[in-house]
């Protein structure tokens, strides 16, 4: 569990970032650390946002000069858009959230495929697209991008259907809107398929947002794990990406500020 202690000067000491890749941080990774504490630390080290937050938290990060690059959407993860019986509820919640996301000036809202429960890939894509097409016109009109997250179905989200890049790409093509794209979680896709840099180069036009995380364990993204995040971030920048990359790792030690600052520097290419 991350400590909620934070020295007054600790959050303010940061070298200026190059800024070629906008960075954010996901709140859920920091347990009982108050949002205000995390936002203060994030701003001090050059981050531009704290994300995966609901409407009640957006004004808090705004007070610190930050945004919420990926707003919480309708959930839960396990019961998503691949089940037609869920569509009416998900659409109602999306129609409530999207105008609020837009009014707050936020760029993206997250959604999930749901678990397979024996469903084949083609039916899953068709079902997701059928439901998502009912909200993309609203997303287009308010200028918010709906992003489906790619998650691993081996360790963390057993049976989740949108668990491979090719599946997500097919869904984006099926939905056929500039306001529907993928949230490419590097941690999850390393577990499922590897070949991260080439996959990004081949599919970057389908990706609106990135998440980090060390493999194994979803801890720090430094030399303790198997991915070279500096090179990955160089590739992301080389594609002309203008969105956000969010740090989404759970610090293994108590120094969450130091771990986050180190990750920010690694990805500042």
How confident is the model over 247-268, as pLDDT tens digits? 999 999 878 999 999 999 999 9
pLDDT for 121? 98
In a domain, 80, yes or no: yes
Range of the structural domain that residue 164 is part of = 22-267
**82 contacts 114 by C-beta, under 8 angstroms:** yes
How many folded domains does the chain comprise? 1
In a domain, 159, yes or no: yes
In a domain, 144, yes or no: yes
Say what the pTM is: 0.94
In a domain, 9, yes or no: no
pLDDT for 254? 77
Q: H or E segment at 87? A: helix 87-103
For residue 50, give the nearest of 79, 24, 14 by alpha carbon.
24
- What's 31's domain CATH number? 3.20.20.150
In this structure, what is the dihedral angle of CA atoms 236, 25, 178, 124, given to the nearest 10 degrees? 100
Q: H or E segment at 207? A: strand 207-211
pLDDT for 14? 55
When pLDDT is averaged across residues 217-234 and rounded to a whole number, the result is 96
In a domain, 73, yes or no: yes
**160 contacts 77 by C-beta, under 8 angstroms:** yes
């Amino acid at each position: 569990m991350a400590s909620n202690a934070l020295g007054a000067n600790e959050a303010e000491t940061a070298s200026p970032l190059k800024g070629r890749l906008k960075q954010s941080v996901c709140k859920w990774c920091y347990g009982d650390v108050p949002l205000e504490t995390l936002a203060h630390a994030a701003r001090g080290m050059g981050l531009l946002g704290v994300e995966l937050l609901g409407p009640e938290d957006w004004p808090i990060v705004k007070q610190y000069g930050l945004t919420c690059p990926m707003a919480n959407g309708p959930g839960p993860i396990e019961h998503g858009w691949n089940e037609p019986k869920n569509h009416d509820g998900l659409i109602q919640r999306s129609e409530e959230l999207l105008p609020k996301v837009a009014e707050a000036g936020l760029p993206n809202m997250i959604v999930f495929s749901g678990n397979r429960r024996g469903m084949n890939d083609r039916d899953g894509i068709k079902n997701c697209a059928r439901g998502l097409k009912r909200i993309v016109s609203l997303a287009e009109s308010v200028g918010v991008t709906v992003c489906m997250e790619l998650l691993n179905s081996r360790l963390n989200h057993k049976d989740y259907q949108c668990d491979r890049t090719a599946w997500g790409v097919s869904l984006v093509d099926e939905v056929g809107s500039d306001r529907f794209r993928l949230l490419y979680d590097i941690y999850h896709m390393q577990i499922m398929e590897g070949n991260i840099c080439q996959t990004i180069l081949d599919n970057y036009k389908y990706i609106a947002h990135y998440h980090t995380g060390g493999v194994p364990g979803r801890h720090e993204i430094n030399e303790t794990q198997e991915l070279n995040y500096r090179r990955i971030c160089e590739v992301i920048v080389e594609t002309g990406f203008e969105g956000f990359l969010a740090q989404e790792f759970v610090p293994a030690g108590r120094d969450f500020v130091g771990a986050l600052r180190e990750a920010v520097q690694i990805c500042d290419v």
